[in-house]
């Protein structure tokens, strides 16, 4: 007969086995807790790194649909849930992929690809440097792309202004040299032409009348062209002359009023041009050189007159905008072609017909405004007109006005 009784030794063995099991289980739990803590620390480190990235970061699928984004994307597009949407539908509002997108090249070449592009976001254009990198995983059949978009809008603007300032300084030295070299022979030509005119009176009886008329016509033409060249030389000298650093408080409304007086005769001759003014009643002063700011206003208004031709509207406005004062000159003229906008402030570039300008006016305006710590913004549509907005910082005492 079999004895089924459990001995004390058996009970001790069972309890000992249970104890070992629970000890192993407890150790496993502790190990899992340690692994979990390490994973959480790593997650926090990765989250801190991602939060520290100031670029827009996205993970895209092969069909350019957004899988995940970082906080910078959410700041750029608040209130938009991008997951599952294509990136070009958000950045371009288009159903077609962006032609310059580096993500496709990154997928096809399995390499890091770079590109720069401009996107219209909100109320303006933003320029981004883009870097796309393929993300391949052995556990996934579908490839993904990591793409960074760095906002370089302000950087590009400052670079453009720096290059423009360098060019203006170089052209200024050249203009001063050319003006100086031309001025002396030009004065000699004009002087001799005036001398010929004075002597013509003595030759009335000794030369045929038609020859005397020709000589008068020739000398008049020489003097007229000399005067035109002298005006160009004067403009070149003004363009190259540095702006005075002894700035004083200037009232832009007064500058506009004085400029209107100078142009009064032009508006009287062209009665079909309508002039409208909207000057701020309480306009704080700006720090500047009054004569130079008058020249800026005169150049912008003269350009507006040339743009509208025989019929149109010119508007002049002044206003305070935050910590600066704005002077805006707009017209309903022909407008500026898009391909010419980036060259407007280039020295000797002009959209006017031959003989109507040498392309120094806007360059001079740019130089003066830059020396005043300001900026010029151009907005133009072909066939509708243009507006030039000059932004100048307030005079220091006016900040509290």
Which CATH number covers residue 188?
A: 1.10.287
Same domain membership, residue 120 and residue 204? no
Mark whether 134 and 188 lie in a shared domain. no
Number of independent structural domains in the chain: 3
Of the candidates 273, 342, 329, which has an alpha carbon nearest to the alpha carbon of residue 299? Answer: 329
Q: Are residues 309 and 389 in the same domain?
A: yes
Residues 232 and 269 occupy one common structural domain: no
Quick one: 263 and 401 in the same domain? yes
Which domain, by its residues, includes 192?
154-241
Sheet holding 144-151, edge to edge: 66-69, 56-60, 144-151, 124-135, 113-121
Q: Quick one: pLDDT at residue 1?
A: 47
Using CB atoms within 10 Å of the CB of residue 215, give its burial: 0 to 12 exposed, 13 to 18 middle, 19+ buried: middle
What backbone phi and psi angles, to 5 degrees, belong to 333? -85, -155
Residue 247 CA, distance from chain mean position: 27
Task: Indicate the pTM of the whole model.
Answer: 0.48
Position 238 scores a pLDDT of 64
374 and 283 in a common domain: yes
362 neighbors 345 (Cβ within 8 angstroms): yes
Q: Do 116 and 161 fall into the same domain?
A: no
For residue 109, give the CATH number of its domain: 3.30.450.20
Asked if the structure places residue 9 within a domain, the reply is no
Token duo for residue 153: 């809008």
Residue 183 lies in a domain: yes
**How confident is the model over 237-250, as pLDDT tens digits?**
665 565 556 788 99
Residues with pLDDT less than 50, the chain = 1, 354-355, 400-401
Closest CA to 65 of 97, 111, 93, 28: 97
How confident is the model at residue 192, as a pLDDT? 85
What is the model's pLDDT at position 73? 87
* Tokens, residue 121: 């976001």
Is residue 43 situated within a structural domain? no
Question: What pLDDT score was predicted for residue 15?
Answer: 65
DSSP structure string for 147-177 = EEEEE-HHHHHHHHHHHHHHHHHHHHHHHHH
Residue pLDDT, tens place only, 306-322 = 888 878 889 999 999 88
* Same-domain status, 230 and 341: no
């Amino acid at each position: 007969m079999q004895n089924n009784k459990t001995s004390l030794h058996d009970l001790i063995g069972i309890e000992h086995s249970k104890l070992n099991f629970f000890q192993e289980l407890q150790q496993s739990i502790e190990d899992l807790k340690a692994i979990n803590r390490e994973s959480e620390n790593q997650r926090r480190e990765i989250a801190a790194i991602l939060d520290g990235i100031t670029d827009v970061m996205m993970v895209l699928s092969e069909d350019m649909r957004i899988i995940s984004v970082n906080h910078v994307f959410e700041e750029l597009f608040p209130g938009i849930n991008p997951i599952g949407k294509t990136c070009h539908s958000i950045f371009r509002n288009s159903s077609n992929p962006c032609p310059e997108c580096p993500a496709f090249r990154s997928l096809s070449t399995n390499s890091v690809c770079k590109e720069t592009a401009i996107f219209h976001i909100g109320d303006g254009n933003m320029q981004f440097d883009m870097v796309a990198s393929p993300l391949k995983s052995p556990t996934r059949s579908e490839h993904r792309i990591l793409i960074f978009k760095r906002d370089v809008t302000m950087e590009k603007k400052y670079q453009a202004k720096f290059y423009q300032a360098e060019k203006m300084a170089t052209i200024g030295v050249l203009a001063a040299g050319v003006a100086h070299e031309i001025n002396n022979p030009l004065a000699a030509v004009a002087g001799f032409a005036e001398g010929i005119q004075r002597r013509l009176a003595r030759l009335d009886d000794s030369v045929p009348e038609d020859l005397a008329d020709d000589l008068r016509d020739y000398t008049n033409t020489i003097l007229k062209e000399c005067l035109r060249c002298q005006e160009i030389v004067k403009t070149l000298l003004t363009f190259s002359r540095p702006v005075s650093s002894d700035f004083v408080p200037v009232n832009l409304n007064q500058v506009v009023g004085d400029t209107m007086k100078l142009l009064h005769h032009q508006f009287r001759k062209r009665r079909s041009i309508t002039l409208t003014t909207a000057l701020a009643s309480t306009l704080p002063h700006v720090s500047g050189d009054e004569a130079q700011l008058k020249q800026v206003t005169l150049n912008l208004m003269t350009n507006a007159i040339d743009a509208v031709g025989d019929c149109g509207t010119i508007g002049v406005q002044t206003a305070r905008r935050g910590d600066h004062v704005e002077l805006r000159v707009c017209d309903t003229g022909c407008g500026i072609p898009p391909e010419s906008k980036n060259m407007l402030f280039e020295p000797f570039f002009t959209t006017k017909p031959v003989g109507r300008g040498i392309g120094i006016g806007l360059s001079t305006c740019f130089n003066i405004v830059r020396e005043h710590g300001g900026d010029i913004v151009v907005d133009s549509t072909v066939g509708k007109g243009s507006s030039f907005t000059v932004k100048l910082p307030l005079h220091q005492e006016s900040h509290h006005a």
